[in-house]
Amino acid sequence: MNHVTQAPAPPAAARAPAAGRGRRAMARPPSRQWAAWAFLAPVVVYLAVFYAYPLYRNLDLSLRDYTVRSFVRGDAPFTGTANYAKVVADPTFGPALWHTVVFTVVSLAFQFTIGLALAMFFHRNFRLSATLRALFLVPWLLPLIVSSSTWSWMLNSDSGVVNAVLGAFGAAPVHWLTSPDWSLWSVVIANIWIGIPFNLVVLYSGLQAIDPVIYEAAELDGANGSQRFWRVTFPLLRPVSAITLLLGLVYTLKVFDIIWIMTRGGPSGSSTTFATWSYRLGFGNLLPAFGPGAAVGNLLIVMALVFGLVYIRLQRRQAF
């Protein structure tokens, strides 16, 4: 039963590095170390200047009381965690947190379920399956402003095609983007559409890695379709599923474009998440509130990092 516990193989491009692992233990000559770090120097400088420094500036923003004038002159007084306290006490905080959670959880649940169903469907190679699977990638590749504006028009209350179809079935028009009851669901729908391809492709590659012999064995033992799914596919796909979900989570938490373009977080804050709130504080008003904006952003980072660390732990475990 050795192959049953086998972790899914990485995709073709990623299969190679295992071979190099054994050689790690060998001595590292000092001259090679110099060369190695010379080649790494650009990326190290890059990470320091274009990742670490912006993050540091962002942290600094969140710990000072910035006004437009002190922002330019750089002499804002240090106020410690005052911005964070202000943000948490803000009436927007509770709803924004709730919307972030709902947006993320609902998007992920549907993206993953639909992606998995499609992956299983495409897994049974039929005529044109490869071409159709490639076409499914289109929503993922389109610029977000393209998909978001297309969805905006499709969901338009008066002239949108969605309401036209609903109307044909006798339903009253839904004010998708302009009613506080629907705006969050509208952006969730658009986000699910954009996220399905990613889930489909990754889960499909996970399915490809399952040895068909296992299915044949299950079939011989008399397992029916649903048993084959719940007893074979599902457990064997678990590592890939976990990573798909965690990565999807980190990606979904930071979704900003779709919401901002479709609803700007409105109406009256009904689709505001941490990402759009942070943007609105920093850039959306005439008088920017960089301090609180950066504070909201950093809360978002903490959420993403927590899940990112879980992801990396899982990835490490999968490697051995």
Partner 1 sequence: MRGSRSPAKTALGLVLTGLMLFPVYWMINVSFTRDQDMRKSPPNWFPVNGTLEGYHEVLDRQLPYLATSLVVGLGTVALTLLVAAPAAYSLAKLRPRGGGALTFALLIAQMIPGIIMAMGFYAIFLSTGLLNTLPGLIVADSTLAVPFAVLVLTTFMSGIPEELLQAARVDGAGALRTFWSVVLPVSRNAVITVSLFAFLWAWSDFVFASTLDQGGDHQPITLGIYHYIGNNNQQWNAIMATAVIASIPATVLLVVAQRYVAAGVTAGAVKH
Between 85 and 135, CB nearer to partner 1? 135
To partner 1, the closest distance from the beta carbon of 60 in angstroms equals 8
Between residues 14 and 171, which has the closer beta carbon with respect to partner 1? 14
- CA angle centred on 236, ends 213 and 239, rounded to 5°: 145
CB 176 within 8 A of CB 214: no
Give least dist CB 238 to partner 1, A.
14
CA dist 241 and 112 (Å) reads: 8
CA-to-CA separations, 278 to 53, 283, 320, in angstroms, rounded: 19, 8, 40
H helix and E strand count, the chain: 17, 0
Crossing angle of the two packed helices 238-253 and 290-319, in degrees rounded to 10: 170
- For partner 1, the closer of residues 119 and 184 by Cβ is 119
Judged by beta carbon, residue 87 or residue 201, the one nearer partner 1 is 201
Query: Please, which residue, 93 or 140, has the CB nearer to partner 1?
Result: 140
Identify which of residues 50 and 230 has a Cβ nearer to partner 1 in the complex. Answer: 50
| CA–CA distance, 15 with 168 (Å, rounded to integer) | 51
Q: At its nearest, how many Å lie between partner 1 and the CB of residue 273?
A: 10
Pick 61 or 184: Cβ nearer partner 1? 61
Which 8-state DSSP code applies to residue 78?
Answer: B
Distance of closest approach, residue 317 Cβ to partner 1, in angstroms = 10
Q: How far is the CB of 231 from partner 1 (least distance, A)?
A: 14
- Smallest distance, Å, CB 101 to partner 1? 16
Minimum CB distance to partner 1, residue 9 (Å): 9
Rounded to a whole number of angstroms, the minimum distance from the CB of residue 94 to partner 1 is 20
**Integer CA distances (angstroms), 193 to 6, 14, 150, 197, 213, in order:** 32, 27, 12, 8, 34
Indicate left, alpha or beta for 183 from its phi (over 0: left) and psi (-120 to 50: alpha). Answer: alpha
Read off the tokens for 189: 């729908």
Distance CA 153, CA 159 (A): 8
Task: State which residue, 39 or 78, has the beta carbon closest to partner 1.
Answer: 39
Beta bridge partners of 78: 64
Q: Are 289 and 90 spatial neighbours (Cβ–Cβ below 8 Å)?
A: no
